[in-house]
C-alpha cells in the first residue's frame, strides 16, 4: 500500500510540474507568446498591491501576443510574477509568484513564497509550516476575481507542495496538516489586518 501511495504521489508531482507555465517536461523554460504587461508603477491587481516591474501574464487572446502597452482585463489574468527580487505581501508572507489553477473545474490559484526572504523575515507558525512544504501552496477560493488573503473569499488550502494534497481524503495525517495550515493562514491573515 505504501508503494502504491508513493507511486501516486510521484504521478501527481509529474502532473503539477507538467502544468507549470513556461516549463516543458524536460525542465527547460521557454518563451511564451501569451500577452503580458509589465507594471510601470504599483498597481492593485486581483485585490493585491503589486510593485512596479511586476509581470502580468494573460490567457492567449486572438491577435495579441508578447508585451502589451497597457493592462488587460483581469478576468483573463492567469499569472502574477514579481521579478528582480521584489515581493508581494500575502498574509504577512513575501511571495513572488501566483498563478491560476489550470484545471477549469477548480476555482483558485497556486502561490509561491520567496523562500529566502520568508526564512529571514517570518517566524510565525504559518510561515514555518509553509516553509516545511518547500513549495507552492494551492488555495481554493469562492471568487477568482480576488487572489488576496481575504478570508471571506478563501475556501481552503488545497495543497502544500506535493506531500500534502486534499486529494488523499483517507490520509488523516495529510488532511490534519492541511487543516492546521489553513487554521494558521487564518490567524496570520487576521494578524496582518490588525497591524
Distance of CA 162 to the CA centre of its chain: 14
Q: What DSSP line would sit under 12-38, residue for residue?
A: HHHHHHHHSTTB-TTS-B----S-EEE
Per-residue pLDDT, 33: 83
The structural domain count of the chain equals 1
145 grid coordinates: 476575481
Q: What is the pLDDT of residues 39-79, one digit of tens each?
A: 999 999 999 999 999 999 999 877 888 899 999 999 999 99
Distance of CA 147 to the CA centre of its chain: 9
Contact criterion met (CB below 8 Å) for 156 and 164: no
Q: 76 is in which domain, residue-wise?
A: 2-194
Q: What is the pLDDT of residues 8-44, one digit of tens each?
A: 555 555 445 444 444 433 333 435 689 999 999 999 9
Q: What is the pLDDT of residues 110-163, one digit of tens each?
A: 999 998 887 776 678 999 999 888 899 999 999 999 999 999 999 999 999 999
Instruction: Describe the crossing of helices 172-194 and 125-133 by its angle, rounded to 10 degrees.
Output: 140
Amino acid at each position: 500500500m505504501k508503494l502504491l501511495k508513493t507511486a501516486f504521489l510521484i504521478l501527481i508531482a509529474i502532473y503539477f510540474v507538467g502544468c507549470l507555465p513556461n516549463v516543458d517536461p524536460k525542465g527547460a523554460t521557454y518563451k511564451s507568446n501569451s500577452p503580458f504587461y509589465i507594471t510601470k508603477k504599483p498597481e492593485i491587481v486581483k485585490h493585491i498591491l503589486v510593485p512596479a516591474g511586476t509581470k502580468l501574464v494573460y490567457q492567449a487572446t486572438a491577435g495579441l501576443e508578447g508585451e502589451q502597452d497597457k493592462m488587460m482585463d483581469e478576468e483573463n489574468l492567469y499569472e502574477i510574477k514579481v521579478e528582480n527580487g521584489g515581493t508581494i505581501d500575502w498574509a504577512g508572507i513575501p511571495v513572488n509568484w501566483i498563478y491560476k489553477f489550470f484545471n477549469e473545474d477548480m476555482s483558485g490559484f497556486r502561490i509561491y513564497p520567496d523562500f529566502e526572504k520568508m526564512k529571514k523575515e517570518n517566524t510565525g507558525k504559518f510561515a514555518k509550516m509553509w516553509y516545511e512544504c518547500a513549495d507552492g501552496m494551492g488555495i481554493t477560493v469562492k471568487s477568482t476575481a480576488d487572489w488576496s488573503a481575504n478570508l471571506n473569499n478563501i475556501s481552503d488550502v488545497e495543497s502544500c507542495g506535493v506531500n500534502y494534497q486534499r486529494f488523499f481524503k483517507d490520509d488523516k495525517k495529510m488532511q490534519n496538516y492541511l487543516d492546521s495550515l489553513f487554521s494558521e493562514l487564518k490567524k496570520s491573515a487576521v494578524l496582518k489586518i490588525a497591524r
